[in-house]
Amino acid sequence: MNDKPKTTVSVIKADIGSLAGHHVVHPDTMAAATKVLAEAKSKGIIIDFYVTHVGDDLELIMTHNKGVDAPEIHELAWSAFKEATKISKELGLYAAGQDLLSEAFSGNVRGLGPGVAEMEFVERPAEPIVVFMADKTEPGAYNLPIFRIFADPFNTAGLVIDPRLHDGFKFEVFDVFESKSVTLSTPEEMYDLLAIIGTPSRYVIRRVYRKSDNEIGAVVSVERLNLIAGKYIGKDDPVAIVRAQSGFPALGEVLEPFTFPHLVAGWMRGSHHGPLMPVPQRYAKATRFDGPPRIIALGFQVKNGRLVGPSDLFDDVAFDKARELAQEIADYMRRHGPFMPHRLGPEEMEYTTLPQVLEKLKDRFVKVEGEFKARKPIVETKMLTHE
């Protein structure tokens, strides 16, 4: 039995207001959050921290030994966001406090607006992790890259040639509509896994475990803001933590899926498909059509809870082609204007202004005699179950 103390890495994010529209976090709000976390570190509440941003989202990366969903840590993050929101309001920043859906903290930030990804583990002698942070998209945006990292041998050579990875991984998939989850094992249940995660608006990879010993390998924030608030107030802008090396995919295997800027939901008003562009921190700002959707990756070593780093992993010419391709895809998708598939389907538009337009026009629709009556579309899907 391993009696070494466990380290928890918590990444908690929120949009608390931004400069010049849904564009970029103001440095003064980051400074306010940093002050709150620095005081907590001096008191021993957290071991270490790093404050950053992607687009209009303030990102708090914290280490501690209090475990996942610790009220003290979540309250700390809430306090940091509230202090940052005060500055945001003083500066008249756009959408100040947007992701804070409640005035009062209730023991956990889940359901209150912020996105949360946390994992607890016993540190290896060398513990590399990658923290992914995305803007202008939803949690399901990670489905394709996380699948490729942990289940695709054409991406991750270690699945074939490294005995420590060869047994595969287990994927916990979360149904964001029903708040249910199912765990599928790869490679034997790979096709079942693909059957559901190909619907990223509903089924989201939440956690990945190494099958041989159930060790946590990755975690993704699954909060869907529109489902929490009942209306569109901003896209979810998810975060993820992935462990690398020594029994997990190598760093290069973790990053490789992002050389393909796959289409994700989000972008302008959360209502359009666009390419997920991997960018360095200096390009982590949303401009063109409030986007395009983008993602940053920061690499750390974790030692006794200390965050060593970060390394700005997408700040590399090796990802220039991916960025060029993303811009070509953005050009192509933008030329569709308000038409699908650039604009999201009706099931994803119910939290936007589209229902108001339909309500205004409902009495102007008239019955056309002699035409066939179509069957009502089937929108409900049943969760796959496994013994």
Query: Which positions are catalytic?
Result: 15, 232, 235
Contacts of 35 (CB under 8 A, 6+ apart): 83
Rg (CA), the chain: 21
7-14: strand order across its sheet: 48-54, 57-64, 7-14, 115-121
Q: Are 284 and 54 in contact (CB under 8 A)?
A: yes
Adjacent-strand bridge partners of 203: 175
Tokens of 239: 């975060």
- The Cα 42–Cα 36 span in angstroms is 10
The residue to which tokens 């991984």 are assigned: 169
Q: What are phi and psi of 131, to 5 degrees?
A: -105, 115
Alpha carbon distances (Å) from 109 to 15, 74, 116: 14, 6, 8
Tokens of 58: 């303030």
Cβ neighbours around 103 below 10 Å, total: 8
Listing DSSP states for 88-156 in one string gives HHHTT-BTTTTT---SS--S--TTSS-EEEEEEEPPPSS-EEEEEEEESB-GGGGHHHHHHHHH-TTT-
Strands (E), the chain: 7-14, 48-54, 57-64, 115-121, 128-135, 169-175, 180-185, 203-210, 216-220, 239-243, 263-266, 272-275, 277-278, 294-303, 306-312
Question: Would you give the DSSP letter of residue 235?
Answer: -
Question: SS3 helix, strand, coil % of the chain, rounded to 5?
Answer: 30, 25, 45
